Structure formats: C-alpha cells, structure tokens
Structure 1
Amino acid sequence: IDKISKDEQTIFRQYGWSEAGTRAESGQVFVRGRRFTVTALLTLEGISAGTVVEGSMNCNMFLDFLENGVVSLSYNP
C-alpha cells in the first residue's frame, strides 16, 4: 500500500545554492490550490484497490479503505 499527496506547493524546490556567506533566495508565485491524497494497493497483477480523497486522509478514512477496499478483495479473489 502506498500513499502520496499532491498540491500546488509541492512543485517548488526545497534547496538551492548561492555564493559563500550569502543566503540562497528564490522568488515563487504562491497559489493556493486543492490537495488530493491518493492511496493504492499494488500487487504483481497491478493496482488492485485505490482511492482518491480531496484533502488529507485521516486514520478513519485509511481504515475504511483497508476494510472496504483491501480486505474485501481477500473474500472475492
């Protein structure tokens, strides 16, 4: 099971370089956007279960994905 989140802020560089003794600075356009969280179960046959939620996924959402998406696959091979 793997999870990834994406929003407009994750495309910016976290590190940079500058001359010794000076601070590295970078100007970026800040745009607020929507965040999506994608969670998927990857098997040898491919993606078996997946979900996309808008915003961050909390514990209850993840447990719901496990119970209804992943565990239900073991009963229906």
Structure 2
Amino acid sequence: NAAENAIRPFVVGRKNWLHSNSVKGANASAAIYSMIETAKANELEPYAYLSYIIKELPLVETIEQFESLLPWNVKNEHLAYWH
C-alpha cells in the first residue's frame, strides 16, 4: 500500500523524534520530512531536490518563481546536476 510505505520512515524514526528539544525543532523536522516525502511522491531524488531548491530559493523574486520550485513542478532534468 502506497500510504503505508509513505509513512513507514516516520514510524521507524518516531523514537528518535522524542529527543526534539523544542517545538521549533520538532516543527523544523516535520517540515523537512514533509519536503522529502513529497519529493519522493513526485519521483524526485530527495537530496538532489533539496540541494536544488536551497540553491534556487535565494534567487526567487515572484510567486511564479517560487511555485516553479514546488516538487510537482520540478523535472528530473533540472536535478541532473545535483545527482
């Protein structure tokens, strides 16, 4: 089942998350895990995707540019350099 496979990393890691020292830390972890799983769901390699958006985000000036960085708008060809 695709849903079960998507949540498996969260179930396996939940004991590690008990050691989040703050609400901000837990929220940051949740945001990163969400980005990783969304990249996977869109058939992107997570490390390459995160590297790509970290490089591109400082250059964003419009909402359209921002939206072009969302995982469902990024093509694997954009990430070829980051593999």
TM-score (norm 2): 0.29
Q: Which has the higher strand share?
A: 1
TM-score (norm 1): 0.31
